[in-house]
Homo-oligomer: A and B are copies of this chain.
Amino acid sequence: MAEIRSLRDAVAGLVHSGDTVAMEGFTHLIPFAAAHEMIRQRVSDLTLVRMTPDVIYDQLIGMGAARKLVFSWGGNPGVGSLHRFRDAVENGWPRPLELDEHSHAGMANRYVAGASRLPFAVLRGYRGSDLPSRSGTISTVVCPFTGEELAAVAAINPDVTVIHAQRADRDGNVQLWGLVGVQKEAALAASRVLVTVEEIVDDLTPAPGAVVLPSWTVDAVAVAPNGAHPSYAAGYTVRDNGFYQSWDAVSRDRDAFLRWMDENVLEGAR
């Protein structure tokens, strides 16, 4: 059963240095508040898993929290590059970053296999691509009925998955809606699950398109209003496109980035 905890306690209790951590949310509901708390707590040596690393992992990578990234598209959506990600990959700053790189279809199916507790998933993917040459988690299987060869991808089972949702009830049942992405799969694939929410409510009234994660699949719920900013929570906040655009300049320069993190994230810890 989920415990309702402060974000600080939830991160301290569930996210440890060296963990494989998935923080999902496909553009929508990205758990920035939790990432900032992880940065403040100096969690390190993480294997970060996420289809679209986005600004959230640019920040974690730039602060040196990650040793490895598992992903499928590492850009600033609609803006351009993730400069901290590039700097880590190209120049090893602030530390080298190992990569395991997939397509979206491959990553999505890796989570599906993880949530289903299967060791792998099958897809029609990667054919003719150079991607398999750089990854140890892409292989092939042969259909026992037709003889067709298909791609196989290894399951992802994070130590901990962190997501942001619109709300939870007092028992810790979690509800999210809008673009639901791959969050259900990421949560069900993990050993531990931390959910930040916009608010706690008495009753989760059914909502169109909503996904419910029952309390018994979640370890901790922490209230973090606007906890997806600059991403958003449909029905609560809107995407701060201006922030995403301004991130390009902030993140281009190492010093500007560190200054920004110091002023906007670490400050909160003092």
Contact = CB atoms under 8 A, between A and B. Distances in A.
Given A123-B118, A206-B209, A208-B206, A145 B141 contact: no
B152 A144 contact: yes
Contact of A120 (B118, B120, B121, B122): B122
A149 to B, nearest CB: 10
A14 interface: no
Given A118-B122, A209-B206, A154 B150 contact: no
14 contacts: A116-B123, A118-B124, A118-B150, A119-B145, A119-B146, A120-B122, A120-B145, A137-B145, A143-B152, A144-B152, A145-B154, A206-B209, A207-B208, A208-B210
Given A119-B143, A119-B146, 20 more contacts: A116-B123, A117-B124, A118-B122, A118-B123, A118-B124, A119-B145, A119-B148, A119-B150, A120-B143, A120-B144, A120-B145, A120-B146, A137-B145, A139-B144, A139-B145, A140-B144, A141-B141, A141-B142, A145-B154, A208-B210
